Structure 1
């Protein structure tokens, strides 16, 4: 199914089992990798994943931004993993046997998944900018140390207007990203 997250969330909320299955298929790896990043063994990561999906079922119809489901799932998985670890530390849960050690010098396994998701959202937001903003930002990124004079000449605008125009374009881009649920 190629539907976007918002469409799938709406359909799943309305009881469409295929839409729910598509959401789970799309994001199960992300949820699993996020849980494993907390150095949980397979059994504990499976428990955290199940609780995360249970929370999704409970709160799917209350999501403020269904398009940002991946961010919501990551945040919820992190919270559930931290809850499990806190309960362990307080003695409420016994320590699981066979906990696996994760190499601290390597980025967490979910890092690439999150970067890819963020990049997709960033480029989608960038494409929603006006052609003029896209061109301006591209020119400034191609040669950030380059002369504003060259960029102004290429765009046929006064040099003094580049800074304020750039600021407006970046503000618009940030707004698009915020509406998509991308932060930071």
Structure 2
């Protein structure tokens, strides 16, 4: 696919690493690295379909695919002086796959906690700036969702999310909820939080 996107029209030469289309792409990388905006635009146009095709292979929605695409171009801009110009296509494929996997992994992680300070101690898989920013945004969303719950529900979730969790008997005595009602109320709280976070 990379060769198809890079292949020049009307050439009789075989597709090798020294093919004209590859040299053209490498020249665009070098020119873009030196600050040539026109070269950057042509480079993005040259490989946009490749990046998009990789995101679609992960079955991401249009919004997630667009976010990944934007992040990939930002990464290239950040690292353009270190990327091998002759291998920019391969670099884009690997970077796009990593960003897609990051999006998919992020979707699976939702942390519910009552203590706002708990978010500061959550370890990240990747200490990169964008991952920290995304985690902070998600933490704010979860905190806002929790704060929109009734006060007793907030207190209940805080006690259940404590480390270690507060025993049901203590929760019942503190909040005044029958022990048999704690589980069902917890389920309603989580359902409400899922709806709030989904919206």
TM (norm. structure 1) is 0.48
Relative contact order: is structure 1 or structure 2 higher (C-alpha 8 Å, sep ≥ 6)?
A: 1
Structure showing greater Rg: 2
TM (norm. structure 2) is 0.44
